[in-house]
Every structure is written in C-alpha cells, then in structure tokens.
Chains A and B, each alone.
Chain A
Amino acid sequence: MCLSVIGFALVQLRDFDMIDILIPAMITIITASTPLVYAALGEMITEKSGVLNLGVEGMMLMGAVTGFIAVTQTSSVTLGILVAMCAGAGMSLIFAVLVLGFQATQVATGLALTIFGIGLSALIGQGLVGVAYEGIPKLPIPLLSDIPFIGPVLFEHDILVYGSFVITVLVSWFLRKTRAGLILRAVGDSHDAAHAIGYPVIKIRYLAILFGGAMAGIAGGYLSLAYSPLWIENMSAGRGWIALALVVFATWRPGRVFFGAYLFGGITILQLHAQAMGAGVPSQVMSMLPYLATIFVLVLISRDQKKIKMNSPACIGQSFHPST
C-alpha cells in the first residue's frame, strides 16, 4: 500500500520538473526524521541498560520550549541546543531518582513524566506563542554541497542533522566495539549477574537515563528551532511515542532505529505531497500510512526470534535491589 502511494507520488512528479520537487521533498524527509533519530537512539541506550523510560514525549517538549526560549533571548544557537539538552537530561534525572533511588515503577513514573512535561512546557511557553524565529542556520559543506542533486539533499543542512548521522554511527560503534558498551548491554541483560561481578548497576543506569534524556531534549529542540521554528503547545505531537515504538520494532539495533526513523519520516512527507496533489484516497487513510508502513516493515525485517533474544535487554522494566 505504501509502495503504491510512493509510486503514485512519483508518477505525479513526472508532470513537474522532477528535481525542483524532489529536492525539497528529500530535504523535508531528512528534517522530519532527524528528531526521531535523536529521541529513539537516546531511548535505545536507556532501554539497553534495562530501564524503560516512557517519558520521551515530556522530555522532548521541555527541550523544545527551553531551547526556543534560550535562542530567542540570546540568539545563540549553541546555547539553545545546550539548554534543550540540559532540559531533557534534567527531566530524565527526575525520572532516574524516582526509579533508581526510590525504586518506583518505571512504567508509571515514565507516564507521569510525560504528563508533567506536557503541562510544564505549556506553562513555561505561555508567552512564546506567536514569537517568530528564522530557524537555525544551514551549514553547507564546501565542495560537497556543489554536487548536483546529492549536494543540496545531503550536504546543505544544519548542525543537528549532521549530528544525527554522527550520533547513529557513534552509538552503533559504542555498543559493538567498546568495553563500556559491552558493560551497558550486560547490565540490561542481567543486573544481578552484573552486580555479582562487581559492576555499578545503578550508576550505569543513571548515565544511560541521562543520555536518553539529553537526546530527547535535542530532539525537542530540533522541532522548535529547525523543523518548524516556533513554539506551540504540545508541538511534539506524539513523536516521543513513535520513538519508543521504533526502538522496540527495530529490536534495539541502532542501524534499524535509524532506518525506521527515516521510513516513518519519509512516508509522512510523501503522503503529505500525495495528499496535496489530490490522490484519490481519504486523507485519514493517508495519515495512517506512516504508522502502518513502519510497523509492518520493521516487524517483517525483525522477525528472527534468535536475533530478538540476542538484542533485547532481558531486564527491561525490572527494579534492581542490590541487597543480595
């Protein structure tokens, strides 16, 4: 179904000047996917340590509102991104203290964090609705951006898009090649065994949760600073939940998380274009497509039970009592 829609869009494109339509479409796909990459990779690291944080949506919103305030007040992009990161990390610290320090239930605490984040961001952002901002600057990479077609699509973006590529590679390398990554996977696989060998389970989980929070903060900041540079209440519009779902459907593998984020972002944009061109499909059906297609494709490629067993953190969601 999704293929037919993409096909339809491509057929429609023939009537226009291909390049003029395609390049902006590709660019919007990348910008739509970038926040999902950040949020999902962050959550993936948190979950790899054995902690399920359902507060991604709330952390993203806090990142979005604080980042927007920082940029409009100081007009420093770097500061804006940093503030968004810290806000996300700060939110996740609340979660970490409750879950790791007080052994609160992870699911309930995560849900509460989301609700708290939605409310608090709306309160902080009250005066910001309608404030305009031109968006963080693009940084075309010299030479590479002059390549026809590929240049404008891949090499004329802002720092956060480049960063999302780098972070995907880094996370993948970290999990696969480093000792720290191995320890993180071990803690998520069996916290009792990790504790018995002598690894500081709680400390490692604090760090993983904070990383997840910082990434969600950047994801939110990207929404309000680049994707649609303004602040509206609840502007993440469910992307935090999509990121959570991506992690699970991608069976905790960074490459697949990245692929899933682009699949979702891509179909979201393509179906918008198809709708704009008047495809004869009800718009509600079109809006369903990204969700259906992403779940369908990721379930299809990740159905190997053995691989799932190898990659999923066995301890996820369980509290750890280091008494024994």
Chain B
Amino acid sequence: MMETNDFEHKSLLELRNMTRSYPGLLANDQVNLTLNKGEIHALLGENGAGKSTLVKMIYGVLKPDSGQILWQRKEKLIASPAVARELGIAMVFQHFSLFDSLTVYENIVLGLEAHQVGDNLDERIVEISQKYGLPLEPDRHVYSLSVGERQRIEIIRCLLQNPKLLIMDEPTSVLTPQEVEALFETLRRLCHEGMSILYISHKLDEIKALCEHATILRHGKVVASVQVQDETANSLAAKMIGEEFSAVSMTAAHPTGELRFVVDQLDYLATDELSVSLKQVCLEVRGGEILGIAGVAGNGQDELLGVLNGEIRTTPTSAIQINGKGCADLGPDQRRSLGLASIPSERLGHGAVPGLTLNENTLLTAHERIGLVRMGLINYQKSEEFGLQVIRDFDVRCHGIQAEAGSLSGGNLQKFIVGREINQQPSVLIVSQPTWGVDAGAAQAIRMALRKLADSGAAILVISQDLDELIQISDRLAAICSGVLSKAQTTAEVTMEQIGLMMSGVETVEDETKK
C-alpha cells in the first residue's frame, strides 16, 4: 500500500483499461500503464502488438473505445493532438510527419501552436539544436535531407514546446549505429533534466541500454511490467514473444550440394550518381548452402539485388547462371521460370503493392511457378489456396487473404512476402535484408524458414547489414564494399576482425595486389 502511494506521487501519466479495436482486430485490450516523472519508460512488443495504437490514443490521434487517461493524477479527455500538446505531450512519429516540399523551418512552425512561434523562433531553433547536439539548417528543404536529419527536425519540433512527456515511436529503426548513439545521449540528457520519455521499440539491446521501466505488450494486452535492470535480453524477449527465445546457430555442417547459382565476372555500370557500379563480381552458391553478403548500406547492395533478380539486365548472358543456364540478359519472370525467387529489402512498393490485397500480391510473383494464370485468365481459387497456405505456414496475422498489403504491420507483411517466395519452392533464393524492421519473434521464424529451405536443397543468397544475423544463418560469408565483392570465407572460421576488413574493402585490395 505504501508503495502505491509513493508511485502515485511521482506519476505523470496513468492509463487505465485502455481499449481500442479495429475492424476484425482488438488492437488494445484493457491496457494499464503508469509513467513516472523523469523516467525513460519502454513500451515493448512485437510488430502488431498494439504499441502504436496505444501511443496514438495518448497523443489524441485515435479515440479509445473505452478507458481513462490520468495526466498528473487528473482525468483528461485528449480529443486531439492540440489538446495533447497543450498538456505537455510531444511525439516523434515512426513514419515522420514531415512535409517534403517545405523547409525545415516551415516544418517546425507547423508543429507548433500559433502562439508558440514568436519572433525569435530562428534563434530558439539554433539554441536547442546546439544544446542537444542536433545540427540542422533551417532553410534546407526536407526532401534533400537524410533520414537522421529528418528525425532531428521532429525532435527539435517537440523540444520547442517544452514538453513534460516525449513519446518516441521506434525512433532507431531508420538510423545508423552512430546516429542511435547520439540520439541516446540526447534522450538521457532530457531525462536528466526532468522530462519523461515513453520509448517504443522491439529492440531489446536498446531497451537494456536506455530504459528503467518496461511495459510489455503482446496481442494488445499487457503481459508484464518490469524493472529493466532485473531482466536480461533473453527474459525480455521471452515475455514479448511468449515462448523461450533461443538464438542457436543454424548453419549446416557440410553443404555439398550441386552448383546452383554462379555469378562470373559480372559488371554493372551505374546509371546515375546515386547508384553504385558493380565491378567483377564473382560468387558461387551450392544447393543446401546459405551465402551471406555483409556490407554497410549504400555499397552496391541494391544494385546487386537488381542485377541478380533480373530487374536490371546485363551482358554477357553467361555472367549469371541458374542451374547451369545463362540468364544475365533475361527479365525477372524468365529467371523465375528457371527456378529463381527474390525478396527485396523494401517491403512496401517493391516486395508488395500496398494498395492490393494479399491475394493479388501473391499473383504478382507466384503466377509463373505455381501456374496461377492459364491463357491470360487468373485462377483465383488456386491463388487463394496458395496464399492461405502461406498465411498458415508463416503465422501471418491479418484479417484474411483479402486484406490490403498496406494494412499489415511490417513484420507480418515481411513474413507473408518471405513465405510467398519460399512456398514456390525455388532452387535459388536471393534475399535482401530479410528481417529489417521485424521483431525478434518474426525474425527468428524467417531465419528458420530460410534454413529449412536450404536444407531441402536450395541455394540461398542473403544480403544483409545485420552481421549477427549473417553469422547465425550463413555457411559462408562475403562482404561488399563500393561495388566490389570480397572472396567468400567459411563463417565458422572467419573472425570478426576479418569481417570488418572485408566490409571496409581492405581484404579485397590485398587480394588484388597479391595477384
């Protein structure tokens, strides 16, 4: 009882029995949460667990079906973001609420109430950006900024309102490790100055590094409310996923299948200054084997994927061979019929069309290998059966095969896309960033599915920036740097230091000089 009183004394925000449903889905079910002054509180959960829904209700974007919000121990009705801002709640959105064609300054003005703008806003922006190490140029247009810079706009926009509570919805999913470190530094400082932060994430190491309390959501319900220091990453993951989480190595002992995928001295000349040229890329993947390609973003991964899956055609024909057949000048569909499947890193717009249903998205890539089209007519019954099988096999949470792809949470859509390709039983699979922005549970399921496909005799090429992932699943490892691919090494024998050298291109240069 004493403990409760102590709790109440410090409480800034208290949620009681918050409930919100969407058609066909109970997103939040009787959620309770207490947030104290000056603490960084984690809201942890898998994709689709209801984290975003909950914070949108706190910020007044969504109306709860039922439940109470207590702000500084008084019940409040937060009907709109303006009310939330008035109370002292600020929010940095997962998908930024920025306007591309406007300047940084204009974007900041739009996030403030009219009376907060004042005459010296310019100076205040500079002052805050210096104080918290968030450099920004007010006159730049947003479309010309990097993702990290865009996030700084959002944060500064929030800080200008002197909020008591700052909500951050998965702020690090788009940042580089250095940017993440800088952000954490800023957040710790804000917290030290008395601000409360509600930090939403599914990345366990971040929560361990940053937060004091954690409220864990699963399927829209609170399953635990814990002190982070008492927990390990594994115990948090277990609570989040609901089963014991294991990160065992999954590499095969001795992959000795036949040669399925060969790339021989492949060149690609960049078409504009933003893309990267590929130089003399050579690689071989055998059946039953997973080859991982590491590398820092923007070193030619996108171009490599495009050239390998047929979105970019090259010559000579024999530069890429699937099961011994040259195909470098063939398009994606022709390569599919040779046994290739591919999964791009961008889910919405590349891997799936957001506005089409799952069924239609199935048709787009599976029509060839599964035979869903006869004489120009679509066999919808067959494609539905195939799509439903994917949903069952990969535990995709959605309301049916007719759900729009864009309505699925990131992890569930990724599971669907991966499943759609794997269930076509390809003999060669090329995957880029298979678990990018996907929660731990879904990521593990995807990796296990890839391993299973390899064990059934397929050759798999995984392009990823997640080194831990590559070490966990790939049999051999190579790295790409400025469009040059290093020689592949057996994962079990390679050291982290060697991988680092490969990723920075040093290894390759040494090889060339030896020749």
By a beta-carbon cutoff of 8 Å, the part of chain A in contact with chain B is: 179, 182-183, 185-186, 189-190, 192-199, 309-312, 314
Q: Is the CB of B81 within 8 A of A193?
A: no
Within the complex, what minimum Cβ distance (angstroms) separates B100 from chain A? 6
B268 within 8 A of A: no
By a beta-carbon cutoff of 8 Å, the part of chain B in contact with chain A is: 60-61, 80-82, 85, 93, 95-102, 106, 109-111, 114, 117, 141, 143
Q: Is the CB of A196 within 8 A of B61?
A: yes
> In chain A, what residue has the closest Cβ to B82?
A198
Q: Is the CB of B100 within 8 A of A314?
A: yes
Q: Is the CB of B80 within 8 A of A179?
A: no
Q: Is the CB of A193 within 8 A of B96?
A: yes
Q: Is the CB of B101 within 8 A of A182?
A: no
Within the complex, what minimum Cβ distance (angstroms) separates B105 from chain A? 10
Partner pick for A182 among B60, B61, B109, CB 8 A cutoff = B109
Within the complex, what minimum Cβ distance (angstroms) separates B405 from chain A? 15
Partner pick for B110 among A186, A310, A312, A314, CB 8 A cutoff = A186
* Contact sample, A vs B, 25 pairs, CB 8 Å cutoff: A179-B109, A179-B114, A183-B110, A185-B99, A185-B101, A185-B102, A186-B106, A190-B97, A190-B99, A190-B100, A192-B97, A193-B96, A193-B97, A193-B99, A194-B97, A194-B99, A196-B61, A196-B93, A197-B97, A198-B60, A198-B80, A199-B110, A309-B143, A310-B141, A314-B100
From known contacts A193-B98, A310-B101, A314-B101, infer whether A182 and B106 are also in contact, taking CB-CB under 8 Å.
yes
Chain B residues with CB under 8 A of A189: 99-102
Within the complex, what minimum Cβ distance (angstroms) separates B102 from chain A? 6
From known contacts A179-B114, A179-B117, infer whether A186 and B99 are also in contact, taking CB-CB under 8 Å.
yes
The 6 closest A-B pairs by CB, nearest first: A198-B81, A193-B97, A196-B97, A189-B99, A310-B101, A198-B82
Chain B residues with CB under 8 A of A309: 100-101, 143
Chain A residues with CB under 8 A of B117: 179
Q: Is the CB of B141 within 8 A of A197?
A: no
> In chain B, what residue has the closest Cβ to A185?
B102
Cα A195 to Cα B61 with chains together (Å): 8
Chain B residues with CB under 8 A of A183: 110
Chain A residues with CB under 8 A of B81: 196-198
Q: Is the CB of B114 within 8 A of A197?
A: no
Chain B residues with CB under 8 A of A310: 101, 141
> In chain B, what residue has the closest Cβ to A195?
B61
Within the complex, what minimum Cβ distance (angstroms) separates B27 from chain A? 11
Chain B residues with CB under 8 A of A198: 60-61, 80-82, 85
Chain A residues with CB under 8 A of B93: 196
Within the complex, what minimum Cβ distance (angstroms) separates A173 from chain B? 16
Within the complex, what minimum Cβ distance (angstroms) separates A305 from chain B? 11
Chain A residues with CB under 8 A of B61: 195-196, 198
From known contacts A179-B114, A196-B61, infer whether A311 and B101 are also in contact, taking CB-CB under 8 Å.
yes
Within the complex, what minimum Cβ distance (angstroms) separates A240 from chain B? 27
Chain A residues with CB under 8 A of B106: 182, 186
Chain B residues with CB under 8 A of A194: 97, 99, 110
> In chain B, what residue has the closest Cβ to A310?
B101
Within the complex, what minimum Cβ distance (angstroms) separates A319 from chain B? 12
User: A196-B61, A197-B110, A309-B100 given. 15 additional CB < 8 A pairs?
Assistant: A182-B106, A182-B109, A185-B101, A186-B99, A186-B106, A190-B98, A193-B96, A193-B98, A193-B99, A196-B81, A196-B93, A197-B97, A198-B81, A198-B85, A312-B101
Within the complex, what minimum Cβ distance (angstroms) separates B113 from chain A? 10
Chain A residues with CB under 8 A of B141: 310
Cα A186 to Cα B141 with chains together (Å): 13
Within the complex, what minimum Cβ distance (angstroms) separates A203 from chain B? 12
Cα A314 to Cα B98 with chains together (Å): 13
> In chain A, what residue has the closest Cβ to B114?
A179
Cα A144 to Cα B347 with chains together (Å): 65
> In chain B, what residue has the closest Cβ to A313?
B101
- Counting chain B CB atoms within 10 Å of each CB, the highest count among A189, A192, A197, A311 belongs to A197
Cα A186 to Cα B101 with chains together (Å): 8
Chain A residues with CB under 8 A of B96: 193
Q: Is the CB of B111 within 8 A of A186?
A: no
Within the complex, what minimum Cβ distance (angstroms) separates B309 from chain A? 29
Cα A283 to Cα B27 with chains together (Å): 68
> In chain A, what residue has the closest Cβ to B91?
A196
Cα A197 to Cα B61 with chains together (Å): 8
Within the complex, what minimum Cβ distance (angstroms) separates B106 from chain A? 6
Chain B residues with CB under 8 A of A199: 110
Cα A193 to Cα B93 with chains together (Å): 9
Chain A residues with CB under 8 A of B80: 198
Cα A195 to Cα B98 with chains together (Å): 11
Chain B residues with CB under 8 A of A179: 109, 114, 117
Chain B residues with CB under 8 A of A192: 95, 97
Cα A197 to Cα B92 with chains together (Å): 10
Chain A residues with CB under 8 A of B102: 182, 185-186, 189
Cα A28 to Cα B102 with chains together (Å): 39
Within the complex, what minimum Cβ distance (angstroms) separates A190 from chain B? 5
Chain A residues with CB under 8 A of B143: 309
> In chain A, what residue has the closest Cβ to B83?
A198
Within the complex, what minimum Cβ distance (angstroms) separates A255 from chain B? 18
Cα A197 to Cα B112 with chains together (Å): 9
Chain A residues with CB under 8 A of B100: 189-190, 309, 314
Within the complex, what minimum Cβ distance (angstroms) separates A50 from chain B? 11
Within the complex, what minimum Cβ distance (angstroms) separates B61 from chain A? 6
Cα A310 to Cα B99 with chains together (Å): 10
Cα A189 to Cα B96 with chains together (Å): 13
> In chain B, what residue has the closest Cβ to A312?
B101
> In chain A, what residue has the closest Cβ to B53?
A324
Chain B residues with CB under 8 A of A312: 101
Cα A199 to Cα B113 with chains together (Å): 11
Cα A311 to Cα B143 with chains together (Å): 12
Chain A residues with CB under 8 A of B109: 179, 182
Cα A185 to Cα B60 with chains together (Å): 23
Chain B residues with CB under 8 A of A311: 101
> In chain B, what residue has the closest Cβ to A311?
B101
Chain A residues with CB under 8 A of B101: 185, 189, 309-312, 314
Cα A193 to Cα B153 with chains together (Å): 14
Chain B residues with CB under 8 A of A197: 81, 97, 110-111
